Amino acid sequence: MGSTSGQPPLAIEATGLVKSFGETRAVDGVDLSVRDGSVYGVLGPNGAGKTTTVRMLATLLHPDAGSARILGHDVVREADTVRGLVSLTGQLASVDEDLTGRENLILLGRLLGLRRAAARARAAELLEAFGIAEAGGRLVKHYSGGMRRRLDIAASIVVTPRLMFLDEPTTGLDPRSRNQVWDIIRALQAEGTTVLLCTQYLEEADQLAEGIAVIDHGKVIAEGTPAQLKASVGTGSLHVRLLDPDQRPNAERVLTRTLDSVHLESDPSALSASCADADRAAEAVAELARNGVAVAGFSLGQPSLDEVFLALTGHPAEEEQAEEALAATDGRAA
Amino acid sequence: MSATPATTHTAAARAAEEAALRKALAATPRPPRASALSSALTFGWRGMLKVKHVPEQLLDVTITPVMFVLMFTYLFGGAIAGSTAEYLDYILPGILVMSVLFTTVYSGVALNTDLTKGVVDRFRSLPTWRPAPLVGALLGDSVRYLVAGTVIVALGVVLGFRPDEGVPGVLAALGLTIVFAFALSWVFTTIGLLMRSPSAVMNAGFMGIFPLTFLSNVFVDPETLPSVLEAFVNVNPISFLADASRGLMQGGVERTDIAVVLGTAAVLTAVFAPLTTHLYRTRS
Ligand SMILES: Nc1ncnc2c1ncn2[C@@H]1O[C@H](COP(=O)(O)OP(=O)(O)OP(=O)(O)O)[C@@H](O)[C@H]1O
Ligand SMILES: [Mg+2]
């Protein structure tokens, strides 16, 4: 590790970060290196240590051990410099609910050193750009989840940060709001801001990030590009629903010939199988039709975070699926 | 790669939206940092905005003092001082002190409430003067102190209170009380950072402030008390503040009273302001 002189410093360079709360080792030796100008995903389930990691990087928590540099500045020794480079959109809405959207943005503008008129103008510009101009005069506690999130992100860029922390920005949003947030993140990156994105959704990291660290129980258990990660996990899956549940054994036989690890779902008319790409899925569905199996519907899913974790933590997903399948068969036989 | 959901937007509207977004996101030069004073005042402005949006929150700082004035003047006035008018002259400057000091507990409660929200993380991650959020909040709270004080004096005047030193005397007493309240509220913001919930702060705060104000000369002349209590009342800084307040309003203020009040305020601030700031910054 350690940035070689001459090269531009990494946006984030963390080594062996540790943070405990009493007995809980929330973060247990996390290393991260994030290139300046990239979007980097930190992927992990509830309680993995994402928020705690971000809070250390944003100078809000002192690490118990390890160190981290933001654009070459130590988060503990040069905390104040770091604060001038980063901005944080926390997991809890980090805007003031008792003020209006506009007041929130003016407040931050003033705190960041804008003069009164400039802060006002900037607030108006951001409200407009984020589609919350009409709601600008309303109290934030009356905002919808999507509006609140957009305001939250707007509040983080009142003055453009070099590095932005986004902690689960789309959790709880509907697909439209989620897409809006994704557009904002893409635009941010296009303008040169580095984004550290915490998320529970592999799809989100896949859509936006050039690199991903998967963390669990405070440790990085895998690191790489989305493609590398998905390859290491294996595959997505094809879900098929049949018109007639009685045809399921037949469908299972057909799918076993074309795809891997066929899995009977708890719904007696549904089954799924591992499947790497759309072409093979289409082939499999066509094969079902040729064999006279009537399909009510099918969908192709990315590997879920569950599958990623099962794969990465060493419990092979197939084994569990097989057990489940067995249980399901037993259940029906009884 | 992303499957864009069907939206009602036309392509042109979408392009315009995107252009506006790009423009807003385009890196702007970072302005010089806000000065300490400016950031504290900005946080003070935040406090005022909250009062503006929810003016009902001023009820707690007005109803209690009104109740105290009425209760003490009519319920105990006759018994303690012989006549209600005489007692009003004695007690009103003291109740002013008490009401404003009670209000300081709410500074700790408000801070604790703030901490349960995500916005504090944002404030703490800003490159501002460290105590700014706290100093600013107290500046905002001084509006409450002023309201509480004004209500008391106005009510007193309605009931027949006629201070000898007139408006300047009342303003001086109010000013001194607010200075002391400012210093005392640092104690409650410290408590606000140490306790787990707003109601715990409220309980701890009033558990401290109740005995402190009642064991002062706000309500009774200490000479009528048992000697142990009298000794405590005589060294209680709130007694000095009540004396100073009476002196400033009725004439004959003693310099030592003012000196003790300002000295205590300075010590409280010197100890608890840095402590609060430290706790605010390091609280996880
Ligand atoms: N202030 C705290 N005090 C005590 N324990 C904490 C504190 N903050 C976090 N923890 C614990 O540390 C662990 C990691 O929490 P953290 O919030 O970092 O996870 P996360 O990955 O952000 O999870 P989520 O997806 O639910 O937000 C959890 O077990 C949590 O209970
Ligand atoms: Mg979290």
User: Which has the higher per-residue pLDDT, B76 or A119?
Assistant: A119
**What is the structure's pLDDT at A234?**
61
Preferred mutation among B51, B115, B121 to probe A, highest tally of A CBs within 10 A? B121
- Quote the pLDDT of residue B179: 94
Cβ proximity of A58 and A79 under 8 Å = no
Question: What CATH number matches the domain at A235-302, 2.60.120.430, 3.30.70.100, 3.40.50.720, 3.30.1330.10?
Answer: 3.30.70.100
> Average pLDDT, stretch B124-151?
89
Regarding the beta carbon of B284 and ligand 1, being less than 6 Å apart is answered yes
Q: What is the pLDDT of residue A319?
A: 36
Ranges in chain A annotated CATH 3.30.70.100: 235-302
> Residue B53 pLDDT > 60, yes or no?
yes
| Nearest one of A138, A130, A131 to A158, comparing CA atoms | A130
Q: What is the mean pLDDT of chain B?
A: 86
- Ligand 2 centre and the CA of A49: distance in Å? 7
pLDDT attached to residue A15: 95
pLDDT interval class at B81 (50, 70, 90): low
Residue B8: pLDDT band with limits 50, 70, 90: low
Mean pLDDT to the nearest integer, B155-176: 90
At A237-271, the pLDDT tens digits run: 788 899 988 999 999 999 888 887 787 877 888 88
For the beta sheet containing A65-70, the strands, ordered from the edge strand earlier in sequence to the opposite edge, are A24-34, A12-21, A65-70, A73-74
- To which H or E segment does residue A39 belong? strand A39-43
Is A88–B122 a contact, with Cβ atoms under 8 angstroms apart?
yes
Which CATH homologous superfamily contains domain A10-226+317-333? P-loop containing nucleotide triphosphate hydrolases (3.40.50.300)
Q: How far apart are CA A167 and CA B248, in angstroms?
A: 55
Q: How confident is the model at residue A124 (pLDDT cuts 50, 70, 90)?
A: very high
Q: Which residues of B touch A76 (CB under 8 A)?
A: none
Highest mean pLDDT among A218-232, A236-250, B101-115, B267-281: B267-281
A199 CB near ligand 1 (under 6 Å): no
The first and second tokens of residue A298, run together, are 């099918």
Say if the Cβ atoms of A99 and B46 lie within 8 Å: yes
Nearest to B2 among A80, A125, A182 (CB): A182
Q: How far is CA A311 from the centre of its chain?
A: 18
Interface pTM (ipTM) of the complex? 0.84
User: Does residue A334 register a pLDDT over 60?
Assistant: no
Cβ atoms of A303 and A237 within 8 Å: the answer is yes
Mean pLDDT of the region B170-186: 94
Q: pTM above 0.95?
A: no
Q: How far are the Cα atoms of A38, A119, A183, B20, B39 from residue A126, in angstroms, in the given order? A: 23, 11, 15, 9, 21
CA distance A142 to A95: 13
What are the residues facing A27 on neighbouring strands? Answer: A19
pLDDT band at B284 (very low <50, low <70, confident <90, very high): low
Residues A303-328 have pLDDT tens digits of: 665 666 666 765 433 333 344 444 44
- Across A207-216, A303-312, B50-59, least confident range: A303-312
Decide: A5 in ligand 1 pocket, CB within 6 A.
no
pLDDT of A136 above 80: yes
**B2, B42, B125 member nearest A87 (Cβ):** B125
Sheet holding A39-43, edge to edge: A86-89, A163-167, A194-199, A39-43, A211-216, A219-224
Give the count of beta carbons closer than 10 Å to the beta carbon of residue B195. Answer: 19
Report the SS3 class of residue A322. helix
Tens digits of residue pLDDT in A47-102? 899 999 999 999 999 999 999 999 999 999 999 999 999 999 988 888 999 999 99
- Give residue A313's pLDDT: 64
Could you tell me which residues are beta bridge partners of residue A215?
Answer: A220
- Whether the pLDDT of residue A25 is over 70: the answer is yes
- B279 to B111, B186, B246, B276: CA distances (angstroms): 12, 12, 37, 5
Give the lowest-confidence range in A282-286, B7-11, B249-253. B7-11
The CB of B28 under 6 Å from ligand 1? The reply is no
**What integer is the mean pLDDT of A282-293?**
89
Cα–Cα distances (Å) from A205 to A86, A196, A210, A235, in that order, read 21, 10, 8, 16
B226 pLDDT band, cuts 50/70/90, is confident
User: What are A73's strand-pairing partners?
Assistant: A70
Q: Which residue of B has its CA nearest to A175?
A: B5
Pocket lining: A90 vs ligand 1, CB cutoff 6 Å: no
pLDDT of residue A235: 64
**Helix and strand element counts for chain B (H, E):** 12, 0
Measured CA to CA, the distance from residue A136 to residue A147 in angstroms comes to: 10
Pick from A27, A28, A51 the residue to mutate for probing ligand 1's pocket: most ligand atoms within 8 Å of its CB.
Answer: A51
Residue intervals of chain A classified under CATH 3.40.50.300 are 10-226+317-333
Number of continuous H segments (helices) and E segments (strands) in chain A: 12, 14
d(CA B44, CA B138): 7
Residue A129 near residue B23 (C-beta atoms within 8 A): yes
**So what's the pLDDT on residue A316?**
35
Helix, strand, coil fractions of chain B, as percent rounded to 5:
80, 0, 20
Mean predicted lDDT score pLDDT of chain A = 85
Terminal Cα distance for chain A, rounded: 59
* Cβ <8 Å between A111 and B23: no
Check CB contact under 8 Å for B121 and A62: no
Residues of B in contact with A111 (CB under 8 A): 34, 39, 42-43, 123, 126, 128, 132
Q: Examine the pLDDT at A276 and tell me if it is beyond 80.
A: no
Residues of B with CB below 8 A from A54's CB? none
What's the rounded mean pLDDT across residues A280-305?
Answer: 84
CA of B196 to the centre of ligand 2 (A): 20
Q: Read off the tokens for B132.
A: 């700014």
What pLDDT, on the 0 to 100 scale, is given for residue A174? 87
The answer, yes or no, to whether any atom of ligand 1 lies below 6 A from the CB of A305, is no
Nearest residue of chain B to residue A204 (CA atoms): B2
Binding site membership of A301 for ligand 1 (Cβ less than 6 Å) = no
pLDDT category, B240, cuts 50, 70, 90? very high
Q: Considering only alpha carbons, which residue of chain A is nearest residue B19?
A: A129
Residue B255, pLDDT > 50, answer yes
Q: Are A42 and A199 in contact (CB under 8 A)?
A: yes
Write down the pLDDT at residue A314: 56
- Average pLDDT, stretch B15-24? 80
Whether the pLDDT of residue B88 is over 90: the answer is: no
Residue A303: its pLDDT value, please?
65
The string of pLDDT tens digits covering residues A32-57 is 999 999 999 999 888 899 999 999 99
Residues of B with CB under 8 A from a CB of A: 1-2, 4-5, 7, 17-18, 20-28, 30-34, 38-39, 42-43, 45-46, 49-50, 53-54, 117-119, 121-128, 132, 282, 284
